[in-house]
Amino acid sequence: MRHGTKHKSFLERGGLSLLAPIALAVVIFDVLPAGRLLLTALAPGGVFDPDKALAALASRSAIRATWATLETAFFSTLLALPLGTLMALVLGITDIRRRRITSFLFVLSLMISPQVIALAFLHLAGPASPILNTLGLAPEAGSINPMLGRLGIILVLGLHHAPLVYVIMSAGLKRIPLAVVEAARIDGSPPLKVVTDHLLPLLRPHLMSAGLLAFVAGIGNFGIPALLGAPVNYLTLPVLIYRRLSSFGTGILGDMAALGLLVAVIAIVCVAASQILTRRGEVLLEEDAPLQPFWKLGRAGAAVEVLVGMVIAVTLILPMLSLFTAALVPSYGMPLTLSTLTLDNFVEVLARQDVTIRAFLNSLLYAGGAACLLACFAIPMAYGLVRLMGPMRIAATALLEISYVLPGIVLAIACILLFLKPLPLVGVSLYGTPWIIVFAYLARFLALVLKPVLAGMVQVDMAQEEAAALDGARIMRRLMDVILPSLLPAAVAGGLMAFLLAFSELTVSALLWSAGTETIGVVLYNLEEAGLASQASAVAIVIVAVVTLAMLGLNALGQYLPAGTLPWHVEMEGKMRVNVRQGGIPIRAQAINPRAPKPALGT
């Protein structure tokens, strides 16, 4: 009875007005860009003519770039999948020490922008490597840097996307009830057999999902192929699109829209398959405790810790050390000694170069402004999706994720097509202005910011809102007094996550920037292209410092956020309470964790 007339009057007090902003966001940020891209690719000039799109896709350069894209994405996935899965298992089921810091550092390598990682590996190897020259291990002068070309791209993509696999597999492990392991151990199964016979079969959908998402990430990656492939003319589709538009301008947008549509179709199909596999593989926890570390390593613990340390060293420490070394020498290729040690590169990019200073300020303004706007919008949007849309919430959320699923280079093309001509009624064009970059950030990261807020909104008890509505509180009062205090930490976390990814991104802004609107990702790429490797390394180190600080800020919010908000967060084991019926078979195991979020209503 309480959810009858009361629920109706609750909606009548202004709640339905929140559906309009949700519909507007879907249309502006997702339907219009995707529709404009599709229209330009299949109907250039307003006339349906798919032959032109097919001709663009059938060109020799497009076929070579498509093959290079699929090749590097596939083989890098074969590297990322076992490495990320191994790390998820080691950190999720063993008693290895320092699990939290290890998880943080591993995911940090994913959060650092791809062009920074590519630059780091480029400076790590080759005859001009400052580290190798300092150690006297540099190859013969004039030899080719082994990171350039197909193998280098595959290696760096695989290492960069291994944490993505780790995040997905860790989420899958958390969905497995502890009772599964307890029952297997009572039957006498050793830890290895528990993993192979019980855990891996349950994780198979997540494993396939992780592989698909790593493949999609490789398809849409621009920074790594641009820095490691373009110098030797090994071009993937995103790099080919960038080169064509940079060389020929907007006159070939129709052909580039066709190539972008190809990339988009591959990405959307793989992401949709990943979502289906993940949902089919979900295990309902009900009242059982989630999986806890159960494998005591004993004497093997030291060897496993060394192995994990080597993974962190290869994916993060060595690349960052190479950047730092390159930034401390006067000229790239010189060994680092007390006589060559200098901070001039940092002074140059942070105090002398107007373009670099402007780029830092632009990135802080564009990324920070977009993140703040998204954090503000996310709370009323999450409220409308959860409280008002009912079964339509799944469809609306899927539509809101279109721009996030699209590779960045494809979204950039869609934004150019959408804003190249002046806007109707106002007669103002956003092309060539900072607003087009901000719009792209809003469209790209809306789904990312909305995710933790939605998770928090599901857990808000409706009884408090209904009580406020019965007391005469209208929608804005309920949002401010009841909803906002509960969802503010999740909104702040989502905004920080968006800032973290947008601050140094290159894929979107590479096609949207103009004179005066450079972002720091663009400046980093241009410095490396101009041969100013030491200055580019100094910029990269500053970017890594900003990203690390943002992640530390997010980590400090971890205890106030819904479970799963922070991809690197590892819960520590709680004290276990096991109810055992006669015969010693556990019927329920529950972790006592005061920080664990309460279950969502109705679950």
At 575, give phi and psi (nearest 5°).
Answer: -70, 140
Q: Per-residue pLDDT for 68 more than 80? A: yes
pLDDT of residue 571: 61
Bridge partners, 591 (sequence order): 576
* 441 pLDDT tier (thresholds 50, 70, 90): very high
Q: What is the pLDDT of residues 268-283, one digit of tens each?
A: 888 888 877 777 655 5
Q: How far apart are CA 129 and CA 121, in angstroms?
A: 10
Q: Are 203 and 169 in contact (CB under 8 A)?
A: yes
In the 8-state DSSP scheme, what is residue 600? P
Mean pLDDT of 58-63: 90
Domains defined along the chain, listed by start? 1-48+347-562 (1.10.3720.10)
Q: What is the pLDDT of residues 384-401, one digit of tens each?
A: 888 877 777 778 888 888
Q: How far apart are CA 313 and CA 321, in angstroms?
A: 10
Residue 149 or residue 290, greater confidence: 149
Return all residues near 165 (Cβ < 8 A) that are at least 6 apart.
80, 81, 83, 84, 85, 88, 210, 211, 213, 214
Residue 70 or residue 591, greater confidence: 70
Computed over every residue of the chain, the mean pLDDT equals 83
Per-residue three-class SS string for 393-446: HHHHHHHHCHHHHCCHHHHHHHHHHHHCCCCCCCCCCCCCCHHHHHHHHHHHHH
pLDDT of residue 43: 82
pLDDT of residue 15: 57
pLDDT of residue 16: 62
pTM of the model: 0.85
pLDDT of residue 221: 92
pLDDT of residue 592: 34
Q: Give percent of the chain with pLDDT exceeding 70.
A: 87
pLDDT of residue 34: 87
* Residue with token string 């469209």: 443
Residue 219 or residue 255, greater confidence: 219
